[in-house]
Amino acid sequence: MTDLTLPRTAPQTQPYNRHRLALHLSRVGRHLLLTGACALVLGPIVYLVLASFKSIPDFFDRPYGLPQHWEWQNYVRAWNEANVSVTLTNSFIVTSAAVLLSTFLASLASYGLSQRDKVLTTALYVLFASGMLIPVQMTMLPLFILLRQLGLFGTLFSLIFPYTALGLPLAILILVPFFATLPSDLAAAARIDGATEWQVFWRVMLPLVRPALASVVILNGVWMWNEFFIPLIIAIKPATQTLPVGIMSFVGVYSTEWGLVFASVVISALPVMIAYMLLTRQFVAGISAGAIKG
Amino acid sequence: MKTRRFTHLWFVLPALLVYGLFVLYPTLSAFWLSLYNWSGFGAKMQFVGLDNFSEALTSATVYRAAWHNLLFFVAIFIFQNTVGLFLATQLDTRPRLVQFYRTVLFLPVIISLVATGFIWSLMLSPNIGFLNPLLKDIGLGALARPWISDTTWALPTVITVQAWHSLGWSIVVYLAGLQNIPHELREAAVIDGATNWQRFWRVTFPLLAPAFTSLTVLTFIQIFRTFDVVYVLAGPIGSPAGATDVLGTLIYRTAFGVSTMTASSSRMSYAIAISVVLFIVLGAASTILLTQLRRREVQS
């Protein structure tokens, strides 16, 4: 978005040096300000990384200094003792399965719902969209009972299915307007060539909404990876816990082992951070698309 | 052509089944359960009609929690529309390093609120924290305080943590809005002799209305459903003494008890009734907010 090289309003050549000085000062001021804001944002993150390498005495002796000697052991112990090896795997399985399933179902539904001249489309669209307002606290207990009745309790499916369902409203809100902008002649032409409805969707329409699909994958992926409340209620067994809950229950047991806790927090944040660094532009565009379209 | 009248519904069906089973059905059974007196465990259920609702609507604890949500929302709203908007306008001038600034400022948005809460609870901890020793060392020791366990400062502290987390989001949304404004409009205002201030209020801000609308409504919904950040920083009882208690923690605590899932202190049906009230109020308020703000967009 910012990569567009629009011509900047050319600074008019000022006859007075005073103006040039003011312009220069405002530019310096802007950089100072933005650097300051970045420092406030980065401060806690740098602190987190340093803290994850500290031994317990370091927290008292050097509250904001570098660790006296770097305690790599924190990471090894977090991996083994804090159950991170299990919760990280669970987080990966649950997030990727739910993102794929949710995106697939939402694109099917959005393709159907984008045909505004057909019956029931508006009503169903509103029904899906209203899911954005439901407080999760309200549905959690009935969901808990339902999952037990379905025999999914204690398996990772008890997280995958609710995540998939809760990911649908946002995905449909983003995808329907996108499908609606595609010219209907395209589908008509494909039908005349003998394509089935499925082929029209899969071969013709779906490839054209790829940018919106990226937004959906990123938005849903980030919240599912970070989701805390649902697994807090549903994933009681340690074998099905995901990272955020795993860390929280670990805190209860080792409340003074701060270095360990922070090593597991770093591990939990790292995969999303790496994905963000590699795909910064898609992340920023995707997450702001969620706000603009909504 | 007649055969094609319903084909689009086949595409909707799989999503509708999953959504119906895991979202709509639990929602409807929540409405139904809210009419009973049930702890959440065991089979003892008793129909009580709207009793849970009348209790929720007259409970001082519910209003206190809702008040905290409201303060929380107002503070975040002001923060997004001053600091967030200002930083977005600065980035919109495309200074050198704009990519770097944007990447860094957006970073907290992708970190979980649980992780964010942990980082800040350690930084602010009175025993091993980092802020209080720092304040002492730079001669501002008088400002050091037990942040999260101080009744006056606890809620502002929680709000600050949320503000840190969501600043990047408001910047990016406003930046996208700013970049949609045609440059000719602002140049025309310059030629007409408008000052910077006039240009911002008369030209730029009205054209940012769509970004303002969605940011405000989404923040409203998000803050009234907030849970993670309060739970991690202040625990399920919204300590100290309920100073940080919000509807999210209140509902959680009422439903599942304070520490573990014990039947003794949990009142599931009542908790569900509170969340049903929240759902209805949230739905009504965001519809009103959305229509009012959209009308403003049309006028400008």
pLDDT tens for the 294 residues of chain A, in order: 444 444 444 445 545 577 778 888 888 888 999 999 999 999 999 988 888 888 877 777 777 777 777 888 888 888 888 788 899 999 999 999 999 999 999 999 999 998 877 778 889 999 998 888 888 888 888 898 899 889 888 899 999 999 999 999 999 998 998 898 888 888 888 888 888 888 888 988 899 988 889 889 988 999 999 999 999 888 888 888 999 888 888 777 666 778 888 888 999 999 999 999 888 888 887 777 666 544
CATH number of the CATH domain containing A177: 1.10.3720.10
Structure tokens belonging to residue B218 = 């989404």
Residue B42 lies in a domain: no
Q: Following DSSP, what letter does each residue of B202-268 receive, concatenated? A: IIIHHHTHHHHHHHHHHHHHHHHT--HHHHHHHTTTTSSTTTT--HHHHHHHHHH-SSS--TTT--H
A292 contacts B176? CB cut-off 8 A: yes
Number of domains in chain B: 1
Q: DSSP class of residue A212? A: H
Q: Give CA–CA dist A235/A152, Å, rounded.
A: 11
Residue B271 lies in a domain: yes
Instruction: Please report the pLDDT score of residue A99 as a whole number.
Output: 96
Residue B5 lies in a domain: no
When mean pLDDT is compared over A2-6, A162-166, B124-128, B224-228, the highest value belongs to A162-166
Q: DSSP class of residue A11? A: P
Range of the domain at B218: 48-299
Among candidates B85, B87, B108, which has minimal Cα distance to A276?
Answer: B108
Among candidates A39, A2, A182, which has minimal Cα distance to B99?
Answer: A2
Residue B35 lies in a domain: no
Residue B61 lies in a domain: yes
Instruction: Please report the pLDDT score of residue A1 as a whole number.
Output: 40
Number of domains in chain A: 1
Q: Give residues 227 to 246 of B whose Cβ lies within 8 Å of A.
A: 227-228, 231-232
The nearest CA of chain A is from the CA of B11 a distance in Å of: 5
Q: Is B206 exposed, middle or buried (0-12, 13-18, 19+ CB in 10 A)?
A: middle
Among candidates B282, B166, B169, B170, which has minimal Cα distance to B221?
Answer: B282
Parallel, antiparallel or unpaired: strands B36-37 and B46-47: antiparallel
Among candidates B221, B249, B64, which has minimal Cα distance to A137?
Answer: B249
Residue B263 has pLDDT above 70, yes or no: no
Neighbours of A172 (CB within 10 A): 29
**Chain B: residue nearest A220 by CA?**
B110
Residue B91 lies in a domain: yes
Residue B189 has pLDDT above 90, yes or no: no
Residue A173 lies in a domain: yes
**Termini Cα distance of chain A:** 19
At which residue do the structure tokens 């706000």 appear? A291
CATH number of the CATH domain containing B218: 1.10.3720.10
Among candidates B201, B171, B204, which has minimal Cα distance to B88?
Answer: B171
Residue A256 lies in a domain: yes
Decide: helix, strand or coil at residue B296.
helix
Residue A279 contacts B where some CB pair is shorter than 8 Å? no
Q: Following DSSP, what letter does each residue of B11-69 receive, concatenated? A: HHHHHHHHHIIIIIHHHHHHHHHTTEE--SSSS--EE-TTHHHHHHHH-HHHHHHHHHH
Range of the domain at A215: 82-293
pLDDT band at B167 (very low <50, low <70, confident <90, very high): very high
A146 contacts B26? CB cut-off 8 A: yes
Residue A46 lies in a domain: no
Instruction: Please report the pLDDT score of residue A91 as a whole number.
Output: 94
Residue B260 has pLDDT above 80, yes or no: no
Closest Cβ–Cβ partner in B105, B115, B228 for A37: B105
Residue B135 has pLDDT above 60, yes or no: yes
Residues of chain A positioned with their CB less than 8 A from the CB of B246:
none
Q: Give CA–CA dist B37/B46, Å, rounded.
A: 5
Across residues B50-78, what is the average pLDDT? 92
B200-205: which pairs have CB atoms within 8 A and are 24 or more residues apart? B200/B89, B204/B89, B204/B178
**Chain B: residue nearest A37 by CA?**
B105
Residues forming a β-bridge with B46: B37
Across residues B38-64, what is the average pLDDT? 85
Residue A24 lies in a domain: no
Q: What is the ipTM of this complex?
A: 0.86
**Termini Cα distance of chain B:** 44
Cis check: omega of the bond before B240, within 30 degrees of 0: yes
Residue A149 contacts B where some CB pair is shorter than 8 Å? no
Alpha-carbon A109 to chain mean position: 22
Residue A34 lies in a domain: no
Cβ atoms of residues A198 and A145 within 8 Å: no
Instruction: Please report the pLDDT score of residue B261 as a whole number.
Output: 47
Task: Give A7-52 pLDDT, tens digit per residue.
Answer: 444 445 545 577 778 888 888 888 999 999 999 999 999 988 888 8
